Amino acid sequence: MFKGLENLSYEERLQELGLLILEKEKLPICSSMAPRKKLQGLVAATVTPMTPDGQINLSVIRQYVDYLVSKQNVKNIFVNGTTGEGLALSIQERKQLAEEWVRQGKDKLDHVIIHVGALSLPGSQELARHAAAIGASGIAVIAPFFFKPTSKDELLAFLREVASEAPAVPFYYYHIPPLTGVKIRVEELLDGIKEQIPTFQGVKFSDTDLLDLAQCINKNGGEEFVFLYGVDEQLLSALAIGANGAVGSTYNYLGQKTNMMLQAFAQHDLALARKYQFLTGEFLNFVIKLGFGVAQTKAVMTFVSGIPMGPPRLPLVKASEEFIAKAKAKLDMLQFTDCFSMWHVEVNGT
Ligand SMILES: CC(=O)N[C@@H]([C@@H](O)[C@H](O)[C@H](O)CO)[C@@H](O)CC(=O)C(=O)O
Protein backbone atom coordinates (compact mmCIF):
# COMPACT_ATOMS: atom_id res chain seq x y z
CA MET A 1 0.00 0.00 0.00
CA PHE A 2 1.31 3.48 -0.82
CA LYS A 3 1.52 5.50 2.38
CA GLY A 4 2.72 8.85 3.69
CA LEU A 5 1.45 11.15 0.90
CA GLU A 6 -0.74 13.14 3.26
CA ASN A 7 2.28 14.84 4.88
CA LEU A 8 3.72 16.08 1.58
CA SER A 9 3.05 19.28 -0.32
CA TYR A 10 1.27 19.12 -3.67
CA GLU A 11 4.55 19.31 -5.62
CA GLU A 12 6.21 16.72 -3.40
CA ARG A 13 3.30 14.35 -3.89
CA LEU A 14 3.55 14.71 -7.63
CA GLN A 15 7.26 14.08 -7.56
CA GLU A 16 6.77 11.07 -5.33
CA LEU A 17 4.22 9.68 -7.74
CA GLY A 18 6.26 10.47 -10.83
CA LEU A 19 3.46 12.58 -12.24
CA LEU A 20 3.81 14.85 -15.19
CA ILE A 21 2.15 18.19 -15.09
CA LEU A 22 1.54 19.24 -18.61
CA GLU A 23 -0.10 22.57 -18.19
CA LYS A 24 -0.18 25.29 -15.61
CA GLU A 25 -3.59 24.27 -14.39
CA LYS A 26 -3.02 21.59 -11.78
CA LEU A 27 -5.16 18.60 -11.07
CA PRO A 28 -6.50 17.93 -7.62
CA ILE A 29 -4.92 15.22 -5.55
CA CYS A 30 -7.87 13.28 -4.24
CA SER A 31 -7.51 11.63 -0.89
CA SER A 32 -11.03 10.28 -1.12
CA MET A 33 -13.63 10.03 -3.84
CA ALA A 34 -16.65 12.29 -3.69
CA PRO A 35 -19.86 10.24 -3.98
CA ARG A 36 -20.70 9.84 -7.64
CA LYS A 37 -23.57 8.62 -9.76
CA LYS A 38 -23.52 4.88 -10.20
CA LEU A 39 -21.82 3.92 -13.44
CA GLN A 40 -24.42 2.76 -15.94
CA GLY A 41 -25.43 3.24 -19.55
CA LEU A 42 -22.82 3.68 -22.24
CA VAL A 43 -19.11 4.05 -21.72
CA ALA A 44 -16.99 4.88 -24.77
CA ALA A 45 -13.74 2.94 -24.92
CA THR A 46 -11.73 5.85 -26.27
CA VAL A 47 -9.15 5.57 -29.01
CA THR A 48 -5.81 7.20 -28.38
CA PRO A 49 -5.33 10.04 -30.82
CA MET A 50 -1.90 10.03 -32.43
CA THR A 51 0.02 12.37 -34.68
CA PRO A 52 0.88 11.15 -38.18
CA ASP A 53 4.34 10.20 -36.89
CA GLY A 54 2.91 8.08 -34.09
CA GLN A 55 3.19 10.30 -31.01
CA ILE A 56 0.21 10.60 -28.69
CA ASN A 57 -1.80 13.67 -29.63
CA LEU A 58 -3.23 15.33 -26.54
CA SER A 59 -4.30 18.42 -28.43
CA VAL A 60 -7.56 16.93 -29.74
CA ILE A 61 -8.81 15.42 -26.50
CA ARG A 62 -10.87 18.43 -25.57
CA GLN A 63 -12.63 18.31 -28.93
CA TYR A 64 -13.08 14.55 -28.51
CA VAL A 65 -14.79 15.00 -25.11
CA ASP A 66 -17.11 17.66 -26.54
CA TYR A 67 -17.95 15.43 -29.47
CA LEU A 68 -18.86 12.46 -27.24
CA VAL A 69 -21.04 14.57 -24.99
CA SER A 70 -22.78 16.71 -27.57
CA LYS A 71 -23.04 14.38 -30.57
CA GLN A 72 -23.19 10.91 -29.03
CA ASN A 73 -24.72 11.72 -25.66
CA VAL A 74 -22.04 9.58 -24.04
CA LYS A 75 -20.73 10.91 -20.74
CA ASN A 76 -18.58 8.03 -19.53
CA ILE A 77 -15.24 6.98 -20.91
CA PHE A 78 -12.81 4.11 -20.53
CA VAL A 79 -9.26 5.28 -21.18
CA ASN A 80 -6.13 3.31 -22.16
CA GLY A 81 -8.03 0.07 -22.67
CA THR A 82 -7.94 -2.19 -25.72
CA THR A 83 -9.34 0.42 -28.09
CA GLY A 84 -7.01 3.00 -26.53
CA GLU A 85 -3.98 0.76 -27.26
CA GLY A 86 -3.12 0.96 -23.56
CA LEU A 87 -0.76 -2.00 -23.68
CA ALA A 88 1.12 -0.49 -26.63
CA LEU A 89 1.84 2.75 -24.76
CA SER A 90 4.63 3.59 -22.34
CA ILE A 91 3.77 4.17 -18.69
CA GLN A 92 4.56 7.85 -19.16
CA GLU A 93 2.23 8.13 -22.17
CA ARG A 94 -0.53 6.39 -20.25
CA LYS A 95 -0.16 8.89 -17.41
CA GLN A 96 -0.18 11.85 -19.78
CA LEU A 97 -3.33 10.56 -21.46
CA ALA A 98 -5.07 9.82 -18.17
CA GLU A 99 -4.28 13.33 -16.93
CA GLU A 100 -5.55 14.96 -20.08
CA TRP A 101 -8.79 12.96 -20.19
CA VAL A 102 -9.49 13.73 -16.53
CA ARG A 103 -8.67 17.41 -17.04
CA GLN A 104 -10.79 17.80 -20.17
CA GLY A 105 -13.60 15.68 -18.76
CA LYS A 106 -13.95 17.78 -15.63
CA ASP A 107 -17.52 19.13 -15.34
CA LYS A 108 -18.41 17.51 -18.68
CA LEU A 109 -18.16 13.77 -18.11
CA ASP A 110 -19.74 11.67 -15.37
CA HIS A 111 -17.11 8.93 -15.17
CA VAL A 112 -13.54 8.67 -16.38
CA ILE A 113 -12.37 5.11 -15.82
CA ILE A 114 -8.68 4.54 -16.33
CA HIS A 115 -7.45 1.13 -17.35
CA VAL A 116 -4.28 0.49 -15.34
CA GLY A 117 -3.64 -3.14 -16.24
CA ALA A 118 -0.07 -3.99 -17.21
CA LEU A 119 2.11 -7.04 -17.55
CA SER A 120 4.04 -6.24 -14.39
CA LEU A 121 2.58 -5.68 -10.95
CA PRO A 122 4.74 -2.59 -10.22
CA GLY A 123 3.70 -1.03 -13.54
CA SER A 124 0.05 -1.57 -12.79
CA GLN A 125 0.44 -0.29 -9.22
CA GLU A 126 2.18 2.85 -10.41
CA LEU A 127 -0.67 3.56 -12.80
CA ALA A 128 -3.25 2.87 -10.08
CA ARG A 129 -1.58 5.37 -7.72
CA HIS A 130 -1.44 7.89 -10.53
CA ALA A 131 -5.12 7.43 -11.42
CA ALA A 132 -6.05 7.94 -7.78
CA ALA A 133 -3.93 11.05 -7.52
CA ILE A 134 -5.46 12.73 -10.54
CA GLY A 135 -9.03 12.03 -9.40
CA ALA A 136 -10.12 9.29 -11.80
CA SER A 137 -13.60 8.00 -11.07
CA GLY A 138 -12.54 4.38 -11.32
CA ILE A 139 -9.75 2.04 -12.31
CA ALA A 140 -9.93 -1.20 -14.25
CA VAL A 141 -7.43 -4.02 -14.58
CA ILE A 142 -7.09 -6.88 -17.06
CA ALA A 143 -5.48 -10.15 -16.10
CA PRO A 144 -1.75 -10.11 -16.88
CA PHE A 145 -1.36 -12.22 -20.01
CA PHE A 146 2.30 -13.12 -20.51
CA PHE A 147 2.81 -14.89 -17.20
CA LYS A 148 -0.82 -15.77 -16.71
CA PRO A 149 -2.65 -16.46 -13.46
CA THR A 150 -3.84 -20.07 -13.58
CA SER A 151 -6.38 -19.97 -10.76
CA LYS A 152 -8.90 -17.64 -9.20
CA ASP A 153 -6.61 -17.14 -6.19
CA GLU A 154 -3.64 -16.10 -8.34
CA LEU A 155 -5.71 -13.66 -10.32
CA LEU A 156 -7.34 -12.26 -7.21
CA ALA A 157 -3.97 -11.78 -5.51
CA PHE A 158 -2.74 -9.71 -8.48
CA LEU A 159 -5.90 -7.61 -8.62
CA ARG A 160 -5.84 -7.05 -4.85
CA GLU A 161 -2.26 -5.77 -4.94
CA VAL A 162 -3.20 -3.25 -7.61
CA ALA A 163 -6.50 -2.16 -6.06
CA SER A 164 -4.90 -1.54 -2.66
CA GLU A 165 -2.72 1.18 -4.22
CA ALA A 166 -5.85 3.21 -4.87
CA PRO A 167 -7.86 2.48 -1.73
CA ALA A 168 -10.53 5.11 -2.33
CA VAL A 169 -11.11 4.47 -6.03
CA PRO A 170 -13.82 2.12 -7.36
CA PHE A 171 -12.21 -0.93 -8.90
CA TYR A 172 -13.41 -2.88 -11.94
CA TYR A 173 -12.12 -6.19 -13.25
CA TYR A 174 -11.70 -6.10 -17.03
CA HIS A 175 -12.52 -9.56 -18.34
CA ILE A 176 -11.40 -10.00 -21.95
CA PRO A 177 -10.37 -13.64 -22.44
CA PRO A 178 -10.18 -13.48 -26.25
CA LEU A 179 -7.20 -11.14 -25.85
CA THR A 180 -5.67 -12.15 -22.51
CA GLY A 181 -6.20 -15.89 -22.85
CA VAL A 182 -7.13 -15.88 -19.14
CA LYS A 183 -10.38 -17.81 -18.99
CA ILE A 184 -11.02 -17.92 -15.25
CA ARG A 185 -14.78 -17.64 -14.92
CA VAL A 186 -15.95 -14.35 -13.49
CA GLU A 187 -18.64 -16.10 -11.49
CA GLU A 188 -15.85 -17.88 -9.62
CA LEU A 189 -13.74 -14.75 -9.25
CA LEU A 190 -16.56 -12.76 -7.69
CA ASP A 191 -17.18 -15.27 -4.93
CA GLY A 192 -16.01 -13.42 -1.79
CA ILE A 193 -14.23 -10.67 -3.77
CA LYS A 194 -15.39 -7.81 -1.53
CA GLU A 195 -13.45 -9.24 1.41
CA GLN A 196 -10.28 -9.21 -0.67
CA ILE A 197 -10.92 -5.99 -2.59
CA PRO A 198 -13.12 -3.61 -0.59
CA THR A 199 -13.21 -1.13 -3.49
CA PHE A 200 -14.52 -3.74 -5.92
CA GLN A 201 -17.32 -2.19 -7.94
CA GLY A 202 -17.96 -4.38 -10.94
CA VAL A 203 -16.87 -6.04 -14.14
CA LYS A 204 -16.27 -4.94 -17.67
CA PHE A 205 -17.29 -8.17 -19.33
CA SER A 206 -15.84 -8.46 -22.85
CA ASP A 207 -16.71 -12.04 -23.62
CA THR A 208 -19.51 -13.93 -25.32
CA ASP A 209 -20.09 -16.35 -22.44
CA LEU A 210 -23.47 -15.04 -21.40
CA LEU A 211 -24.01 -17.93 -19.03
CA ASP A 212 -21.06 -16.73 -16.97
CA LEU A 213 -22.38 -13.16 -17.04
CA ALA A 214 -25.88 -14.32 -16.09
CA GLN A 215 -24.52 -16.31 -13.15
CA CYS A 216 -22.57 -13.26 -11.96
CA ILE A 217 -25.66 -11.08 -12.09
CA ASN A 218 -27.90 -13.69 -10.55
CA LYS A 219 -25.56 -14.29 -7.61
CA ASN A 220 -24.44 -10.70 -7.03
CA GLY A 221 -27.54 -8.67 -7.75
CA GLY A 222 -27.86 -7.68 -4.10
CA GLU A 223 -24.24 -6.53 -3.90
CA GLU A 224 -24.82 -3.55 -6.13
CA PHE A 225 -22.00 -4.54 -8.43
CA VAL A 226 -22.02 -3.04 -11.90
CA PHE A 227 -21.86 -5.27 -14.96
CA LEU A 228 -20.83 -3.53 -18.16
CA TYR A 229 -20.93 -5.57 -21.31
CA GLY A 230 -18.15 -5.30 -23.88
CA VAL A 231 -19.33 -7.10 -27.01
CA ASP A 232 -21.23 -4.30 -28.69
CA GLU A 233 -22.93 -6.45 -31.33
CA GLN A 234 -24.59 -8.52 -28.57
CA LEU A 235 -25.44 -5.83 -26.06
CA LEU A 236 -29.20 -6.35 -26.21
CA SER A 237 -28.79 -9.96 -25.08
CA ALA A 238 -26.68 -8.80 -22.12
CA LEU A 239 -29.27 -6.18 -21.20
CA ALA A 240 -31.92 -8.88 -21.18
CA ILE A 241 -30.05 -10.77 -18.48
CA GLY A 242 -29.45 -7.65 -16.41
CA ALA A 243 -26.27 -5.89 -17.53
CA ASN A 244 -26.20 -2.28 -16.27
CA GLY A 245 -24.60 -0.85 -19.38
CA ALA A 246 -21.76 -1.29 -21.79
CA VAL A 247 -18.18 -0.33 -22.53
CA GLY A 248 -17.17 -0.48 -26.15
CA SER A 249 -15.46 0.96 -29.15
CA THR A 250 -18.58 1.62 -31.20
CA TYR A 251 -20.08 4.00 -28.63
CA ASN A 252 -17.55 6.53 -29.90
CA TYR A 253 -19.54 6.87 -33.11
CA LEU A 254 -22.75 4.87 -32.60
CA GLY A 255 -23.40 6.12 -29.09
CA GLN A 256 -26.50 8.02 -30.01
CA LYS A 257 -28.05 5.05 -31.84
CA THR A 258 -27.14 2.70 -29.03
CA ASN A 259 -28.63 5.09 -26.48
CA MET A 260 -31.86 4.81 -28.44
CA MET A 261 -31.62 1.05 -28.10
CA LEU A 262 -31.16 1.39 -24.32
CA GLN A 263 -34.14 3.70 -24.19
CA ALA A 264 -36.34 1.34 -26.21
CA PHE A 265 -35.28 -1.53 -23.96
CA ALA A 266 -36.06 0.47 -20.82
CA GLN A 267 -39.51 1.20 -22.25
CA HIS A 268 -40.05 -2.50 -22.97
CA ASP A 269 -40.18 -1.84 -26.70
CA LEU A 270 -38.22 -4.92 -27.68
CA ALA A 271 -39.08 -4.66 -31.36
CA LEU A 272 -37.52 -1.21 -31.56
CA ALA A 273 -34.55 -2.21 -29.42
CA ARG A 274 -33.89 -5.11 -31.79
CA LYS A 275 -34.06 -2.77 -34.76
CA TYR A 276 -31.18 -0.74 -33.35
CA GLN A 277 -29.20 -3.83 -32.39
CA PHE A 278 -29.66 -5.26 -35.87
CA LEU A 279 -28.47 -2.02 -37.46
CA THR A 280 -25.25 -1.90 -35.45
CA GLY A 281 -24.95 -5.65 -35.94
CA GLU A 282 -25.22 -5.26 -39.69
CA PHE A 283 -22.48 -2.66 -39.72
CA LEU A 284 -20.19 -4.70 -37.47
CA ASN A 285 -20.87 -7.93 -39.33
CA PHE A 286 -19.87 -6.16 -42.53
CA VAL A 287 -16.64 -4.62 -41.21
CA ILE A 288 -15.62 -7.68 -39.20
CA LYS A 289 -15.59 -9.63 -42.48
CA LEU A 290 -13.26 -6.99 -43.94
CA GLY A 291 -10.99 -7.22 -40.89
CA PHE A 292 -11.94 -5.00 -37.97
CA GLY A 293 -9.91 -3.95 -34.96
CA VAL A 294 -8.45 -0.92 -33.25
CA ALA A 295 -6.85 0.46 -36.43
CA GLN A 296 -10.19 0.35 -38.23
CA THR A 297 -12.00 1.89 -35.26
CA LYS A 298 -9.57 4.81 -35.41
CA ALA A 299 -10.28 5.26 -39.11
CA VAL A 300 -14.07 5.09 -38.67
CA MET A 301 -13.96 7.50 -35.75
CA THR A 302 -11.87 9.91 -37.82
CA PHE A 303 -14.31 10.07 -40.71
CA VAL A 304 -17.41 10.10 -38.53
CA SER A 305 -16.30 12.73 -36.02
CA GLY A 306 -13.99 14.77 -38.22
CA ILE A 307 -11.34 14.58 -35.46
CA PRO A 308 -8.02 13.19 -36.72
CA MET A 309 -7.26 10.10 -34.64
CA GLY A 310 -4.08 9.27 -36.51
CA PRO A 311 -2.55 5.86 -37.13
CA PRO A 312 -2.37 3.03 -34.63
CA ARG A 313 0.94 1.99 -33.14
CA LEU A 314 2.93 -0.97 -34.46
CA PRO A 315 2.38 -3.88 -34.63
CA LEU A 316 -1.04 -2.56 -35.67
CA VAL A 317 -1.13 -0.87 -39.05
CA LYS A 318 -3.38 1.78 -40.57
CA ALA A 319 -6.71 0.77 -42.05
CA SER A 320 -6.58 0.62 -45.85
CA GLU A 321 -8.26 3.22 -48.07
CA GLU A 322 -10.39 0.40 -49.41
CA PHE A 323 -11.64 -0.43 -45.91
CA ILE A 324 -12.41 3.22 -45.21
CA ALA A 325 -14.38 3.64 -48.43
CA LYS A 326 -16.40 0.47 -47.83
CA ALA A 327 -17.09 1.23 -44.16
CA LYS A 328 -18.20 4.75 -45.05
CA ALA A 329 -20.52 3.49 -47.77
CA LYS A 330 -22.03 0.95 -45.40
CA LEU A 331 -22.69 3.56 -42.74
CA ASP A 332 -24.28 5.80 -45.37
CA MET A 333 -26.44 2.97 -46.54
CA LEU A 334 -27.62 2.25 -43.03
CA GLN A 335 -28.44 5.93 -42.71
CA PHE A 336 -26.21 6.30 -39.73
CA THR A 337 -24.86 9.38 -41.38
CA ASP A 338 -27.92 11.58 -40.69
CA CYS A 339 -26.62 12.80 -37.38
CA PHE A 340 -22.98 12.52 -38.42
CA SER A 341 -23.33 14.84 -41.38
CA MET A 342 -24.81 17.52 -39.13
CA TRP A 343 -21.69 17.22 -37.01
CA HIS A 344 -19.49 17.58 -40.11
CA VAL A 345 -21.31 20.74 -41.05
CA GLU A 346 -20.85 22.20 -37.59
CA VAL A 347 -17.22 21.18 -37.27
CA ASN A 348 -16.09 21.92 -40.80
CA GLY A 349 -18.51 24.69 -41.58
CA THR A 350 -19.33 23.14 -44.94
C1 LIG B 1 -11.99 -6.96 -28.60
C2 LIG B 1 -12.48 -5.55 -28.55
O3 LIG B 1 -11.81 -4.67 -29.01
N4 LIG B 1 -13.65 -5.36 -27.99
C5 LIG B 1 -14.26 -4.04 -27.86
C6 LIG B 1 -15.63 -4.03 -28.48
O7 LIG B 1 -16.18 -2.75 -28.34
C8 LIG B 1 -15.53 -4.36 -29.97
O9 LIG B 1 -14.74 -3.41 -30.63
C10 LIG B 1 -16.92 -4.36 -30.61
O11 LIG B 1 -17.75 -5.24 -29.91
C12 LIG B 1 -16.82 -4.77 -32.08
O13 LIG B 1 -16.51 -6.13 -32.20
C14 LIG B 1 -14.34 -3.66 -26.39
O15 LIG B 1 -14.82 -4.71 -25.61
C16 LIG B 1 -12.95 -3.26 -25.93
C17 LIG B 1 -13.00 -2.21 -24.94
O18 LIG B 1 -14.00 -1.91 -24.38
C19 LIG B 1 -11.75 -1.49 -24.65
O20 LIG B 1 -11.30 -0.78 -25.50
O21 LIG B 1 -11.20 -1.66 -23.59
What is the pTM (predicted TM-score) of this model? 0.88
Q: State yes or no: pLDDT of 129 exceeds 60.
A: yes
- The answer to the question of whether 247 is labelled as a binding residue is yes
Q: Residue 221's pLDDT band (boundaries 50, 70, 90)?
A: confident
Residue-wise DSSP of 273-330: HHHHHHHHHHHHHHHHHH--SHHHHHHHHHHHH--------TTS-PPPHHHHHHHHHH
List, for residues 12-63, the tens digit of each pLDDT value: 444 454 444 433 344 444 433 344 678 999 999 999 999 999 999 999 999 9
**Residue 280 Cβ contacting ligand 1 at under 6 Å:** no
Instruction: Given the residues 174, 251, 253, 276, select the one marked as catalytic.
Output: 174
Which of 82, 261, 285 to mutate for ligand 1's pocket (most ligand atoms within 8 Å of CB)? Answer: 82
pLDDT of residue 22: 39
pLDDT of residue 143: 98
Q: Give yes or no: 174 in active site.
A: yes
List, for residues 90-107, the tens digit of each pLDDT value: 999 999 999 999 999 999
Atom of ligand 1 at shortest range from CA of 230:
15
Spatial separation of the C-alpha atoms in residues 40 and 26, rounded to whole Å: 29
**Residue 277 Cβ contacting ligand 1 at under 6 Å:** no
Q: Give yes or no: 75 in active site.
A: no
| 5-270: CATH number | 3.20.20.70
Domain range list for the chain: 5-270
**Residue 303 Cβ contacting ligand 1 at under 6 Å:** no
- Whole-number average pLDDT of the chain: 89
Task: Give the bridge partners for 248, in sequence order.
Answer: 44
Distance 33 CA to ligand 1 centre (A): 28
